[in-house]
Amino acid sequence: MVGLFQATGNRDAKRMASDATELLAGGDQLTPSTRKYLLATAMLGSVAQGDTAAARSLWSRYQPALFGGREPDLLFRVLAAEAARR
């Protein structure tokens, strides 16, 4: 997780996306807040690289478990909108 914070601080979008995605994939024991942080970081890193397909894939995979039928936070609505741009 420290590496992810370093990548975020350095604005290293590629590493942000890869590290956060890796942590999310193995995160069954993570708290909902931590999973939301990781999802936002992974999506932001993907969008910053222009990889909207990866951001859309992340959103599709994790949105149901994190938000269910509830409306996502503004941050996630913005990230999802950016990911939907082609």
3-state SS, 10-40, equals: CCCHHHHHHHHHHHHHCCCCCCHHHHHHHHH
Instruction: Tell me the pTM.
Output: 0.92
Residues of the chain with pLDDT > 90, as a percent, come to 88
| Predicted pLDDT of residue 68 | 87
| Predicted pLDDT of residue 28 | 79
| Predicted pLDDT of residue 59 | 95
Domains in the chain: boundaries: 2-84
For residue 35, give Cα distances in angstroms to 11, 18, 21, 85.
Answer: 20, 14, 10, 24
> What's the whole-number average pLDDT of the chain?
93
**72 burial via Cβ count (<10 Å: 0-12, 13-18, 19+):** middle
| Predicted pLDDT of residue 35 | 95
| pLDDT tens per residue, range 11-36 | 999 999 999 999 999 877 899 999 99
| Predicted pLDDT of residue 26 | 86
Residue type, 57: S
